[in-house]
């Protein structure tokens, strides 16, 4: 059984190409639900377009909301569907 340990490293100490490879291989090893949520978050916050305006503090706040709001995932999925409709329009 795989452990769900948190991978920790200092991004400044790792070049972007290596950092992306580490992230990709880590994500590929995750259950399908995590992969789908990862891809949705990646698109929604335009990380794939290098257009994410969220700061580290913003991400921490979102993580805190996700950890404490039992409806967070469903709210995110609804917001993501609306985002995709806008992008595809």
- pLDDT of res. 46: 77
Higher pLDDT, 46 or 88: 88
- pLDDT at res. 66: 92
Q: pTM for this structure?
A: 0.61
For 21-43, what is each residue's pLDDT tens digit?
Answer: 557 788 888 899 888 888 888 88
Q: What secondary structure does DSSP assign to the chain, as a single string?
A: ----PPP---GGGS-HHHHHHHHHHHHHTS-HHHHHHHHHHHHHTTGGGT-----HHHHHHHHHHHHH-TTHHHHHHHHHHHHHHHHH-
Quickly state the pLDDT bin for 1 (edges 50, 70, 90). very low
């Amino acid at each position: 059984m795989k452990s769900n340990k948190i991978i920790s490293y200092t991004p400044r100490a790792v070049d972007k190409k290596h950092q992306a490879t580490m992230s990709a291989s880590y994500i590929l090893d995750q259950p399908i639900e995590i992969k789908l949520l990862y891809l949705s978050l990646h698109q929604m916050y335009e990380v794939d377009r290098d257009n994410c305006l969220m700061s580290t503090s913003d991400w921490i706040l979102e993580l805190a909301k996700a950890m404490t709001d039992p409806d967070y995932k469903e709210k995110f999925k609804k917001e993501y569907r609306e985002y995709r409709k806008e992008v595809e329009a």
